[in-house]
C-alpha cells in the first residue's frame, strides 16, 4: 500500500510517499526493494527475495521519495528510500526503551546531493519526537553521513582472529556443556537466548525476524537463498538451560577456516566454552568472528594470549537523542552525584540545559531542565549519544573539543556517564 504524505518540506519536484507491507508481495513493496538494491549496488532481486522482503518489512514504515511520473529512468521505482520501525534498546540495568530504528537508507545515484536524505531523516526524526520516543538508532555503511543529523557512535564492534591449530588451550574449565544442533531446528532457542542477552546488556539493540533466518542458514541475503554451510553449537549451563548459541560456516569442503556468523552468549562461561569447542574441531586452523564482546574474557582465559588477535574495531550502533528528559530518566546510572550539561542541537530536537541528580548507584535519576547554563558543560547532541551507553568517555570527548567546560564540569560528565558494565551490542539492522 502507498500513500502520499507531506509532513515535511520536500524539495521540488519530489514527493514523499509512505509504503507499507501486509507481509505479502505488492508492486509498491517490490519497487522499494528494487530501489534499495539499486542504492546498495545489490544484484537485481529475484522473486524469492522480493517475497522474503515483503514478509520481513511487514509493520515497518517504508518512506520513499518519488520524482514526477513518468520516471524516465526506472518507471515505478522511488528515487530514495528509508525504512523505520519501533523496537527496543537496553539503556542499562535491564531497562528496554522503545526507539525508532532506521534502515535501508538509499538515494539513487542520479539524485544524490539534492537534500533527499535530509528530507527523509527530518521526516523520521520529527515523527519520532512527536510520538514521544527518546531516541532514534541506526547502523551505518559510511562513518561520514550521520553525525550532521545528531547521531553519535554509541556501541562498537570488534573482530577477532583465533589460532585453532592446537595452540588454543583454556586456563580453566568453563561451566556447562556444549552440543551441536541442527541449525534449522532451534529457532525458539535462538530467540530465547537472544532475549536473555538483550535484557542483560546495556546498548543491546533488539532484532528483527530476519536474524533467525540468517543465523539458521535458512536465508542469506548476500547469497539470495539458503546458506547450507551453516552449523550451530549450543551451550547449556549447569542447570541444563541454553545460555549460548553460535552459528558458523567452514570455508569449503574439508576446509580449515571457520567464520562465525552469529554468536549470542549470555555469560562469559558460555562464550568461552563456545570458542573452545570451535577451536577443538578437527582440521580447523583459524576462526574469525565479528561483534565480539568489547569486555570479552577470551584473551584472559587462554594459556597463550597470542592465539587471540583483535583485528577490527569499528562503529556499530549510532544513537540520536531526541528527548533528553526521557533518555536520562530511563538510563541506568552507576554513580551517585550530579551533572549539568547544555546540549547544542542544530536540528533543535534536544537543545537546552539539563541537570541530572542520582542519589545512589542504580537509583533512577531526577532530571530537571534548567534555564541557567552557567554551571553547565556544553556538548553537541551527537556527543551525548556517544556518552549515553558509557562507550564514549567525557575526558576523551573533551580532548576532541566535543565537550567543553571547566575541569570540574568535564570531570562530572566523565564520571556520571561512565558505566561499570561495558556496552555490548551484537545486532546490525
Ligand atoms: C548516503 C546517501 C543516502 C546520501 O543521500 P543524499 O540525498 O545525497 O544526501 P543529502 O543530499 O540529503 O545530503 C545531506 C548532507 O549529507 C552530506 N552527505 C551525504 N552523503 C554523504 C556521504 N556519503 N559522505 C559524506 N557526506 C555526505 C551532504 O553533503 C549533505 O551535507 P550538508 O547538509 O551539510 O550540505 C546516498 O549517497 C546513498 O544512497 N548512498 C549509497 C547507499 C548508502 O550508503 N546508504 C547509507 C546507508 S547507512
CATH of the domain at 267: 3.40.630.30
pLDDT for the residue 222: 87
pLDDT for the residue 6: 59
Do 197 and 128 sit in the same domain of this protein?
A: no
> H or E element: which one contains 396?
helix 394-399
* Res. 113: pLDDT tops 80: yes
* Res. 4: pLDDT tops 80: no
| % of the chain residues with pLDDT over 70 | 99
Which residues does a 6 A CB cutoff place in the pocket of ligand 1? 39-40, 105-107, 112-118, 140-142, 144-145, 148
Which ligand 1 atom lies nearest to the CA of residue 117? 12
298-346: pLDDT as tens digits: 999 999 999 999 999 999 999 999 999 999 999 999 999 999 999 999 9
pLDDT for the residue 373: 86
Which ligand 1 atom lies nearest to the CA of residue 148? 34
User: Does a structural domain hold residue 295?
Assistant: yes
Per-position b or e across 291-330, b if 16+ CB within 10 A of its CB: bbbbebbbeebbeeeebbeeeeeebbbbbbbbbbebbbbb
109-116 average pLDDT score: 97
* Res. 239: pLDDT tops 80: yes
- Residue 116 pLDDT class (50, 70, 90 cuts): very high
**Residues in contact with 104: Cβ distance below 8 Å, sequence separation at least 6, in sequence order:** 32, 36, 62, 81, 82, 83
66-86: pLDDT as tens digits: 999 899 999 999 999 999 999
Do 233 and 276 sit in the same domain of this protein?
A: yes
362-409: pLDDT as tens digits: 999 999 999 988 899 999 999 999 999 999 999 999 999 999 999 999
279-297: pLDDT as tens digits: 999 999 999 999 999 999 9
13-37: pLDDT as tens digits: 999 999 999 999 999 999 999 999 9
- Distance of CA 238 from the midpoint of ligand 1 (Å): 50
* Res. 1: pLDDT tops 80: no
- Distance of CA 122 from the midpoint of ligand 1 (Å): 13
Do 20 and 50 sit in the same domain of this protein?
A: yes
Residue 350 belongs to domain with CATH number: 3.30.1050.10
- Distance of CA 112 from the midpoint of ligand 1 (Å): 7
Do 24 and 118 sit in the same domain of this protein?
A: yes
Do 134 and 29 sit in the same domain of this protein?
A: yes
Q: What is the CA radius of gyration of the chain?
A: 23
State the average pLDDT for the chain: 96
Do 124 and 6 sit in the same domain of this protein?
A: yes
Q: Residue 75 is part of which domain span?
A: 2-138
Q: Hey, is 165 helix, strand or coil?
A: coil
pLDDT for the residue 162: 98
> Of 314, 349, 379, at which residue does a domain stop?
314
Do 164 and 239 sit in the same domain of this protein?
A: yes
Do 280 and 365 sit in the same domain of this protein?
A: no
Do 403 and 292 sit in the same domain of this protein?
A: no
**CA 405: distance to chain centroid?**
31
165-197: pLDDT as tens digits: 889 999 999 999 999 999 999 999 999 999 999
C-alpha cell at position 385: 549519544
User: Does a structural domain hold residue 429?
Assistant: no
- Residue 3 pLDDT class (50, 70, 90 cuts): low
Q: Which residue, by CA, sits nearest to atom 16 of ligand 1? A: 145
Which ligand 1 atom lies nearest to the CA of residue 141? 48
169 neighbors 300 (Cβ within 8 angstroms): no
Residues written for the chain: 429
User: Does a structural domain hold residue 269?
Assistant: yes
- Distance of CA 117 from the midpoint of ligand 1 (Å): 6
Pairwise CA distance, residues 207 & 405, whole Å: 38
> Of 273, 291, 314, at which residue does a domain stop?
314
Do 30 and 178 sit in the same domain of this protein?
A: no
* Res. 5: pLDDT tops 90: no
Do 53 and 102 sit in the same domain of this protein?
A: yes
Pairwise CA distance, residues 418 & 118, whole Å: 32
Pairwise CA distance, residues 391 & 155, whole Å: 6
**CA 273: distance to chain centroid?**
25
- Residue 7 pLDDT class (50, 70, 90 cuts): confident
C-alpha cell at position 314: 569499528
Pairwise CA distance, residues 186 & 267, whole Å: 19
Pairwise CA distance, residues 318 & 152, whole Å: 5
Do 310 and 337 sit in the same domain of this protein?
A: no
Question: Helices 47-56 & 27-39, crossing angle to 10 degrees?
Answer: 100
Pairwise CA distance, residues 125 & 135, whole Å: 9
Number of domains in the chain: 3
- Residue 41 pLDDT class (50, 70, 90 cuts): very high
Which ligand 1 atom lies nearest to the CA of residue 112? 8
Amino acid at each position: 500500500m502507498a500513500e502520499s504524505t507531506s509532513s515535511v518540506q520536500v524539495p521540488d519536484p519530489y514527493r514523499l510517499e509512505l509504503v507499507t507491507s501486509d507481509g505479502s508481495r505488492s508492486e509498491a513493496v517490490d519497487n522499494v526493494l528494487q530501489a534499495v538494491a539499486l542504492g546498495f549496488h545489490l544484484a537485481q532481486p529475484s522473486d524469492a527475495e522480493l517475497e522474503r522482503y515483503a514478509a520481513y518489512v511487514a509493520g515497518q514504515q517504508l518512506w520513499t521519495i518519488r520524482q514526477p511520473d513518468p520516471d524516465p529512468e526506472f518507471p515505478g521505482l522511488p528515487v530514495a528510500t528509508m525504512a523505520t520501525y519501533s523496537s527496543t534498546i537496553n539503556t542499562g540495568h535491564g531497562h528496554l526503551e522503545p526507539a525508532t530504528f532506521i534502515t535501508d537508507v538509499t538515494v539513487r545515484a542520479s539524485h544524490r546531493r539534492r537534500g533527499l536524505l535530509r528530507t527523509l531523516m527530518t521526516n523520521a526524526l520529527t515523527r519520532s519526537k512527536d510520538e514521544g520516543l527518546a531516541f532514534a538508532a541506526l547502523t551505518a555503511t559510511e562513518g561520514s553521513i550521520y553525525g550532521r543529523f545528531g547521531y553519535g557512535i554509541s556501541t562498537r564492534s570488534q573482530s577477532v582472529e583465533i589460532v585453532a591449530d592446537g595452540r588454543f588451550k583454556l586456563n580453566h574449565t568453563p561451566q556447562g556443556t556444549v552440543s551441536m544442533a541442527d541449525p534449522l531446528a532451534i529457532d525458539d532457542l535462538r530467540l530465547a537466548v537472544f532475549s536473555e542477552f538483550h535484557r542483560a546488556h546495556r546498548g543491546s539493540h533488539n532484532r528483527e525476524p530476519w536474524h533467525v533466518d540468517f543465523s539458521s542458514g535458512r536465508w542469506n541475503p548476500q547469497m539470495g537463498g539458503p546458506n547450507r554451510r551453516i552449523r550451530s553449537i549450543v551451550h547449556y549451563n549447569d542447570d541444563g538451560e541454553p545460555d549460548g548459541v553460535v552459528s558458523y560456516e567452514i570455508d569449503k569442503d574439508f576446509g580449515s577456516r571457520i567464520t562465525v556468523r552469529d554468536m549470542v552468549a549470555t555469560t562469559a562461561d558460555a562464550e568461552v566454552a563456545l570458542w573452545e569447542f570451535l577451536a577443538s574441531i578437527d582440521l580447523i586452523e583459524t576462526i574469525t568472528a565479528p561483534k565480539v564482546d568489547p569486555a570479552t574474557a577470551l584473551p584472559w582465559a587462554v594459556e597463550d594470549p597470542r592465539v587471540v588477535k583483535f583485528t577490527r574495531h569499528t562503529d556499530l550502533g549510532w544513537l540520536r537523542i531526541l528527548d533528553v528528559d526521557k533518555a536520562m530518566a530511563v538510563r541506568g546510572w552507576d554513580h551517585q552525584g550530579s551533572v549539568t550539561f547544555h546540549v547544542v542541537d542544530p536540528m533543535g530536537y534536544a537543545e537546552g540545559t539539563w541537570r541530572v541528580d542520582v542519589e545512589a548507584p542504580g537509583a533512577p535519576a531526577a532530571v530537571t531542565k534548567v534555564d541557567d547554563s552557567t554551571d553547565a558543560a556544553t556538548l553537541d547532541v551527537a556527543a551525548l549519544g556517544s556518552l549515553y551507553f558509557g562507550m564514549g568517555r567525557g575526558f576523551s570527548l573533551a580532548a576532541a573539543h566535543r565537550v567543553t567546560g571547566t575541569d570540574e564540569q568535564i570531570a562530572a560528565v566523565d564520571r556520571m556517564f561512565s558505566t561499570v558494565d561495558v556496552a555490548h551490542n551484537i545486532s546490525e539492522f
